[in-house]
Amino acid sequence: MKITEIRPIIVGNPWKNWIFVVVETDEGITGYGESTVGLNSLPVEAAIREVAHLCKGKDPRNIHALWDHLYKAMYLTEGQIQKAAMAGIEIACWDILGKSLNTPVHQLLGGRMRNEIRAYANGWYRGKRDPVAFAEMAAEVVEKGYTALKFDPFGASFQTISAREERLSIEIVRAVKEAVGEDVDIIIEAHDRFTVQNAIRIGQRLAEFSPLWYEAPVLSSDIEDLVAVAKAVPVPVGVGERFTSQREFTRLLAHNVIDIINPETIDVGGLWPTREVAAIANANNAVVALHNARGPICSAANCHLDLTLPNLLIQETFQDFNDPWTRDVVVGTPELRDGYFQVSDRPGLGIELNEEIAREHPYSAGNFMRLFESGWETRFGNSSAEGAQPQR
């Protein structure tokens, strides 16, 4: 079997353009992957096109050899754009391998360790930044069956936070916790917002709410700062969504103060590199909660991996809170039932991409969340760019 074509397809999800990867073969088997990042949609699309010729003619079932070939061809690059391009191709190759063997990807990764995957909800808070509004929206999430949810209550704050904004943020957390009850876990997202001292003070104030973890309180690339915060706050700190190499996780976990990691499969380079990250975590007595602020193909890939991990904690999802049409662009994704993913045994990832629907929702320069602008929580999408299209 040989790869004959690799095509990136950008789908204009309103709050983040999704980048899907189609890998075609001479035996008629097509695999689907994903390379979605944030504001780098067009650079990643270009990176996929640039490396496609390095894959053509190669057997997609030799996944490690192909990944190693790309990694060395790009001179051992650990950047997000390059890793995302590699991840999309790698995930699609797992899909092809599974289809060629009539076997689900999770079986190829070692088989089921569990029959369902606990999920936590994200993307559910799209109203006014107000404690009452947040509480009402959180209660609706619990009604869907979720036993955990994540949210960022900190508005547009960056590095510092005013006394008024901090009070409001804590009031929002309190209102959400009271609305969902003691049996539902809350996760507090900080999006790399704060300096060390601000992150510590806020982390100490969060202790009364017993969050499952406090995510990315300081710039994620500053491992020393992350460690300083984790040592000073009485709540677990989770981090890792912006890491692009196993080396970063190794350095982080060596300090023995952070034991919840949030790798982003696409940024790390695909399913197998993420599995290696999970093994590093397991060796350091840490658990894994895969980050997934990406699209439905990444979500499906994550679920297949989740089934196989001995140290899985929980899986992030936006699935129930995306626009309705997004459920049709990729069909066959794992079903969410009462807050738990159910993963089928269909071959490969068990999904199909509807390219006709994908074409109905093209790239827009405004399809981004601007996390340090007021009102970003509403996921206002392309309103700020009025659906602007680039020159393609």
Q: pLDDT by residue (tens digit) across 20-56?
A: 999 999 999 999 999 999 889 999 999 999 999 999 9
Distance CA 233, CA 119 (A): 25
69 is catalytic: no
Q: pLDDT by residue (tens digit) across 106-155?
A: 999 999 999 999 999 999 999 899 999 999 999 999 999 999 999 999 99
User: Per the structure block, which two tokens stand in for 152?
Assistant: 């960022």
The pLDDT of residue 63 is above 50: yes
C-alpha distance from residue 233 to each of 192, 204, 230 (Å)? 16, 5, 6
Nearest partner of 249 among 216, 272, 278, 229, judged by Cα: 278
Say what the pLDDT of residue 391 is: 36
Say what the pLDDT of residue 377 is: 84
pLDDT bracket for residue 380 (50, 70, 90)? low
Give yes or no for a contact between 253 and 286, defined as CB atoms under 8 angstroms apart.
Answer: yes
Distance CA 303, CA 118 (A): 10
C-alpha distance from residue 48 to each of 20, 40, 90, 233 (Å)? 10, 12, 11, 41
Give yes or no for a contact between 219 and 243, defined as CB atoms under 8 angstroms apart.
Answer: no
Distance CA 17, CA 362 (A): 9
Say what the pLDDT of residue 57 is: 98
Name the pTM for this structure: 0.95
191 is catalytic: yes
Nearest partner of 290 among 306, 276, 304, judged by Cα: 306
Q: pLDDT by residue (tens digit) across 148-191?
A: 999 999 999 999 999 999 999 999 999 999 999 999 999 999 99
DSSP string, 209-269: G--SEEE--S-TT-HHHHHHHHHH-SS-EEE-TT--SHHHHHHHHTTSS--EE--BHHHHT
Q: pLDDT by residue (tens digit) across 286-333?
A: 999 999 999 999 999 999 999 999 999 999 999 999 999 999 999 999
DSSP classification of residue 334: P
Catalytic hit among 64, 69, 106, 291: 291
Say what the pLDDT of residue 127 is: 86
User: Per the structure block, which two tokens stand in for 192?
Assistant: 């790399």
Distance CA 214, CA 192 (A): 11
Catalytic hit among 106, 191, 304, 361: 191
Residue 105 three-state SS: helix
Say what the pLDDT of residue 381 is: 55
Nearest partner of 33 among 275, 302, 316, 243, judged by Cα: 302
Q: pLDDT by residue (tens digit) across 232-290?
A: 999 999 999 999 999 999 999 999 999 999 999 999 999 999 999 999 999 999 999 99
Say what the pLDDT of residue 386 is: 42
